[in-house]
């Protein structure tokens, strides 16, 4: 039996310095391991316990660990998880499927065909984003992998009414809006992590799928998995979102990441145990 484990990264498995403070009081702060360095500075962390569990998971012959992220390929490749490197990785919210670190061209062609058929072009969406964003709170505007766009903002200054209006405009044109930390993502609706996960499951012959994520962009991934978890923080937690096969953890912050990896390893072990 092969179990596919597809997990979102930022604020699900790994945590920046800012995200570490979600619910981690100093007296009980766990020991941390840096898993990402950028411009010579430590950027993202997991607990040492989570690192050990990830190494065990990557070594398990019955499991296929698939990092699954909205990050671009370049951003993803800054991360160094303990244990064996993942053969498959899903980047750009499902737009890039990496096999041994190399983008799969056949997958990218399939994605391009779906986007052309089901959503307005990136150029139209990005032009609208730039036209309605307020310089008072906009810090950066980026296009990722020629697939989607995002804004880096001063979150406290962004009006809730603006997010609502952008969401309605985007949905009518086949796009999804997601607010994650200081970033506002605009992603084509057909661009999903779940589709890429299902492709990896097909290629690996996985008989069960496990998943975890914290944001609106992870909802399709969690729904598509056989068993899933979400932390006690993030867009999904704020909305009270869940499903019958999704465990909503009470734990938040980096300790939620540790609990998610523990749940993965426990479930992989259970599924791999022969019935009596």
Query: What secondary structure does DSSP assign to 14-28, as a single string?
Result: BEEHHHHTTS--GGG
Q: Looking at residue 171, what is its pLDDT?
A: 96
Please, is 251 exposed, middle or buried when counting C-beta atoms within 10 Å of its C-beta (0-12, 13-18, 19+)? middle
* E strand residue ranges, 168-255: 175-180, 183-188, 208-212, 227-230, 246-248
Residue 115 Cα distances to 94, 146, 217, angstroms: 12, 11, 16
Task: Identify the bridge partners of residue 212 per DSSP, sorted by sequence position.
Answer: 7, 229
Residue 97 Cα distances to 4, 71, 80, 139, 262, angstroms: 15, 12, 18, 29, 26
Instruction: Please state the pTM of the whole predicted model.
Output: 0.91
Q: What is the pLDDT along the chain (276 residues), one digit of tens a residue?
A: 899 999 999 999 999 988 886 655 556 678 899 999 999 999 999 999 999 999 999 999 999 999 999 999 999 999 999 989 999 999 999 999 999 999 999 999 999 999 999 999 999 999 999 999 999 999 999 999 999 999 999 999 999 999 999 999 999 999 999 988 889 999 999 999 999 999 999 999 999 999 999 999 999 999 999 999 999 999 999 999 999 999 999 999 999 999 999 999 999 999 986 543
Going across the sheet that includes 15-16, the strands are 15-16, 41-47, 32-38
Q: Looking at residue 276, what is its pLDDT?
A: 39
Tokens at residue 217, please?
């962009």
Q: Looking at residue 5, what is its pLDDT?
A: 98
Q: Looking at residue 92, what is its pLDDT?
A: 96
Tokens at residue 209, please?
């799928």
Tokens at residue 105, please?
């061209």
The torsion region of residue 94 among left (phi > 0), alpha (psi -120 to 50) and beta comes to: left
Tokens 């840096």, residue located: 34
* CA–centroid distance for 94 within its chain: 10
| Residue environment code for 84-111, b if the CB has 16+ CB neighbours within 10 A, otherwise e | eebbbbbbbbbbbbbeeeeebeebbeeb
Tokens at residue 203, please?
């290629």
d(CA 213, CA 202): 21
Taking each helix axis from N to C end, the angle separating 48-59 and 254-271, rounded to the nearest 10 degrees, works out to 30
Q: Looking at residue 18, what is its pLDDT?
A: 82
Q: How many CB atoms lie within 10 A of CB 73?
A: 18
Q: Looking at residue 21, what is its pLDDT?
A: 65
Tokens at residue 139, please?
């810090």
Q: Which of 50, 8, 25, 5 is nearest to 235 (CA)?
A: 8
């Amino acid at each position: 039996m092969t179990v596919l484990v597809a997990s979102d990264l930022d604020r699900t498995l790994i945590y920046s310095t800012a995200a570490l403070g979600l619910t981690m009081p100093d007296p009980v702060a766990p020991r941390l391991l840096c898993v990402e360095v950028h411009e010579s500075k430590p950027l993202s962390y997991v607990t040492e316990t989570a690192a050990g569990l990830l190494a065990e998971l990557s070594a398990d012959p019955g499991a296929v660990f698939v990092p699954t992220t909205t990050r671009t390929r370049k951003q993803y490749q800054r991360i160094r998880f303990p244990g064996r490197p993942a053969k498959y990785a899903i980047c750009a919210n499902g737009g890039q499927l990496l096999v041994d670190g190399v983008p799969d061209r056949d997958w990218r062609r399939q994605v391009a065909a779906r986007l052309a058929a089901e959503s307005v072009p990136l150029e139209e969406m990005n032009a609208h984003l730039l036209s309605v964003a307020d310089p008072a709170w906009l810090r950066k505007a980026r296009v990722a992998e020629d697939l989607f766009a995002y804004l880096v903002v001063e979150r406290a200054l962004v009006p809730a009414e603006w997010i609502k209006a952008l969401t309605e405009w985007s949905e009518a044109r086949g796009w999804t809006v997601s607010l994650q930390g200081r970033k506002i993502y605009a992603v084509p609706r057909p661009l999903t992590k779940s589709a890429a996960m299902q492709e990896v499951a097909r290629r690996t012959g996985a008989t069960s799928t496990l998943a975890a994520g914290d944001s609106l962009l992870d909802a399709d991934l969690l729904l598509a998995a056989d068993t899933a978890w979400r932390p006690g923080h993030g867009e999904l937690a704020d909305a009270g979102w869940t499903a019958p096969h999704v465990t909503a953890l009470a734990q938040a912050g980096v300790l939620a990441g540790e609990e998610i990896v523990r749940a993965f390893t426990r479930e992989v072990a259970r599924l791999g145990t022969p019935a009596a």
